[in-house]
Structure 1
Amino acid sequence: MDKIGLELDRVVFIGRTFEEYLDMFSITLDELKDKKVLDCPAGACSFTAIGNKKGLDVTACDIAYYHQGEALKNKGLQDVEHAMKKMEKAKNHFKWDYFKDVDDLKKHRLNALYDCANDMKENNEHYISVTLPELPFEDKAFDIILSAHFLFTYADRLSYEFHLKTLHELLRVAKEEVRIFPVVDLEGKRYEHLDKILGYLDEKGFDVEEVKASYEFQAHANSMLIIKNKD
């Protein structure tokens, strides 16, 4: 594994908070109202739990949701510990203004996990088990799709073909747009096939824009793709 960025030896079940999502995707609560929103893959994020409590219509999907209850929560707890140990070694490659330190980061990650796990008990219908690159939804089932820290992030273990197939599926079920954050891998390097993907999407008739976000925790991970359907 690399010795520059965050070294993770597995795809972890870790969550970001609702507030992080708004900042990462440069989107407001008002912009999401009256929209059907999909978080894919959602992991242990609290976006669905908090979003629905605030009156939004949010669905989460993830391969991890094949497991439920305490087993999934315990995996999340183990993954938070795993990631925080790695973070201590790599913390110089992160910006510590959004979070004060590793302990503060851990607190936010645990809060997201607890919100997610508790909501899964109460509103399990909002959490759908999926295995990308396939999704069990109808065409244009959601207005907006948000996808964080998966595509591009795990470039070392997800092939270009997998990225392309997953993008096709996300765009198939999106009525308006897909937002993907960030566009760098775990080393903080721009995804090596990104320009190829941008050209491909342009040829297929999608409006694609790379947009800077106010959120930057991992160094250089401060932009996202916004892909819009023209029809």
Structure 2
Amino acid sequence: MSDRTAPAPAEALVTSRPLDEYCGLFGLTRAGIAALPGPLLDCPGGAAALAAEARPLGCRVIATDPVYARPADEIAARVLAARAAMAAAMDARPDLSPAPRHRPPDRYLRSWDRAHRLFAADRAAHPGQYVAAALPRLPFADGTFALTLSGYLVFAYPALFGPERQLAALTELVRVTAPGGEVRVHPLCDGAGRRTGHLDAVRHALGERRITSEIRTVPAAEKAGRPRRVLVLRRADHRRNGSGPPRP
């Protein structure tokens, strides 16, 4: 596995997904999030509303993203650019859209608009829960988080994350996750819907680092929706038992 032939890095979109979309993407429930025995890491957090919407449930979320080092107006501009890019992508490839009910795109993207407003207000009120950092190196102690989520980054941007960097990023996400906790990664394809061809090699390399992996199929939240494939990682030396944390 080598990054030598990887193209120049691309810039990740700064998206604004609401809590309900996170639940659908990662196979979560609000009750499960509320029952987590420790904090949740959202990496990358972008301009999502996860931290704002999870707080009333009793769950503390730390969001981390390199964009948090930028001024608020620059973040807002990148959010609008991401919204426009998503609208164009939904028009061009409706088969990749979240679900048939999300037509036209603005119907779906209105939930992003609300999420962005919640994010902006929450970051202003709780700046310590939004940490400027980038994979594959995070400023958190080992085993800090009960659950770690990573959406639309590690496999979605092959120009930004070649195989070696993907392996380093996934290993780092496991490092900051508590024994008995999980790392969940979605999607397992790039922005054009092409599946990661070297995923088996990445999983084998993770196993050599004593990290177990499984591909979990998350049922669609609605009849016409598509099931999701989520990569779930755990420390191999942890033995689950009845006293372990509940699955969210």
Quote the residue 2:229 is aligned against: 223
Q: Against the structure 1 CA distance between its residues 54 and 216, is the aligned structure 2 distance closer, same or farther, given a 3 Å change threshold?
A: closer
1:200 corresponds in structure 2 to 205
Structure 1 Cα separation of the partners of residues 30 and 64 of structure 2: 20
Preserved contact between residue 63 and residue 131 of structure 1 (Cα < 8 Å) = yes
Aligned 1:151-190 pairs, distance under 5 A: 151-175=154-178, 176-190=181-195
Contact 1:216 1:222 in 2 (8 A): no
SS at match of 1:20: helix
Amino acid at match of 2:233: I
- CA-CA distance at 1:112 after TM superposition: 1.6
* Structure 1, gaps ≥5 residues long: 1-8
Measure the CA separation in 1 of the matches of 2:58 and 2:124: 19
Alpha-carbon distance, 1:183 to partner? 1.1
Task: Please point out which of 98, 102, 112 is paired with 1:99.
Answer: 102
Give me the CA root mean square deviation.
2.2
| Contiguous gaps of at least 5 residues in structure 2 | 1-9, 239-248
Please, what TM-score do these two structures have when normalized by structure 2?
Answer: 0.82
Aligned length: 222
Residue 213 of structure 1 pairs with residue 218 of structure 2: yes
Q: Give the corresponding residue for 2:18.
A: 17
Shift of 1:71: 2.9
1:194–1:105 Cα change, 3 Å: same
Shift of 1:226: 0.9
Name the SS of the counterpart of 1:145 in structure 2: strand
Alignment of 1:88-127 (within 5 A): 88-94=91-97, 96-97=99-100, 99-127=102-130
> Aligned pair in 2 of structure 1 residues 69, 150: CA closer, same or farther (>3 Å)?
same
